[in-house]
């Protein structure tokens, strides 16, 4: 029997739930991802990545955060679920939850991976209970420039740390790469490490050798 399509609910994106954003920033974010979905046939380009390989190298770094097999993980800003696909390909068995802000994105993710758990959710407006997940991941979530990126980044990470038992892994654009795109938020390794340590984590670990544009940081509880 053919499975019925899962119901994807919409959420109201309120400015008060996006610290550091202006209304123009929030409108622009919605418009960007809606346009990307329609403009490209390639799954990675539909959520803002240039190539599938650029996604894969970031996912590979994420798997270095700790022993993922058998763990419960949260993929924040999951897009079309490519990280779940990568974990399956590598035979890393986890209990996976992918969340994204946009119902159109989640609908597409469910088409690619009908057996994975996806939902439309904003982690600041509707957080999970404390320590729900072993590991949480954010890929590309902080790359778009807004009014106050540092406020948004710190608020998001602080909330996600509360919901995570072991570690949070995220990537961000490296200012040392020389990237000149004015709509992108870039940081130096020193800046992002100092910010992460201000969150009160036990340990941080930074990776910046895998892609010339990127930094990955692990925050251990």
| 64 vs 94: CA distance, rounded Å | 15
Give the mean pLDDT of 139-152.
Answer: 94
pLDDT digits (tens, 9 = 90+) for 155-192: 999 999 999 999 999 999 999 888 888 889 999 999 99
Tally of domains in the chain: 1
| 56 vs 199: CA distance, rounded Å | 28
Q: Is residue 14 part of a domain?
A: no
Q: Which residue range(s) make up the domain with 97?
A: 19-220
Q: Which residues contact 12 (CB under 8 A, 6 or more apart)?
A: none
Q: To the nearest whole percent, how much of the chain has pLDDT over 90?
A: 70
Residue 213: the pLDDT is 87
Q: Is residue 145 part of a domain?
A: yes
Q: Is residue 10 part of a domain?
A: no
Q: Is residue 5 part of a domain?
A: no
Residue 53: the pLDDT is 73
pTM for the full model?
Answer: 0.89
Lowest-pLDDT choice from 30-44, 96-110, 128-142, 204-218: 30-44
Q: Burial level of 1, CB count in 10 A (0-12/13-18/19+)?
A: exposed
Confidence of residue 101 (pLDDT cuts 50, 70, 90): very high
pLDDT at residue 36 is higher than 80: no
Q: Is residue 177 part of a domain?
A: yes
Q: Is residue 167 part of a domain?
A: yes
pLDDT digits (tens, 9 = 90+) for 58-79: 999 999 999 999 999 999 999 9
């Amino acid at each position: 029997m053919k499975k019925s399509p899962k119901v994807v609910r919409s959420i109201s994106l309120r400015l008060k739930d996006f610290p550091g954003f202006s209304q123009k920033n929030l409108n622009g974010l919605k418009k960007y991802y809606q346009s990307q979905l329609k403009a490209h046939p390639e799954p990675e380009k539909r959520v803002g990545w240039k190539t599938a390989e650029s996604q894969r190298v970031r996912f590979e770094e994420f798997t270095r955060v700790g022993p993922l097999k058998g763990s419960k993980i949260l993929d924040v800003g999951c897009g079309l679920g490519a990280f779940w696909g990568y974990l399956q390909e590598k035979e890393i068995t986890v209990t996976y939850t992918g969340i994204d802000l946009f119902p159109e994105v989640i609908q597409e993710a469910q088409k690619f991976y009908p057996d994975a758990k996806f939902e439309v959710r904003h982690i600041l407006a509707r957080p999970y209970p404390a320590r729900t997940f072993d590991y949480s991941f954010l890929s590309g979530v902080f790359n778009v420039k807004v009014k106050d990126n540092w406020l948004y980044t710190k608020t998001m990470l602080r909330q996600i740390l509360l919901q995570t038992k072991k570690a949070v892994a995220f990537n961000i654009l490296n200012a040392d790469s020389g990237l000149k795109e004015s709509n992108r938020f870039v940081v130096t390794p020193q800046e992002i490490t100092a910010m992460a340590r201000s969150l009160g984590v036990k340990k941080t670990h930074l990776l910046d050798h895998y892609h010339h544009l990127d930094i990955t940081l692990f925050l251990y509880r």
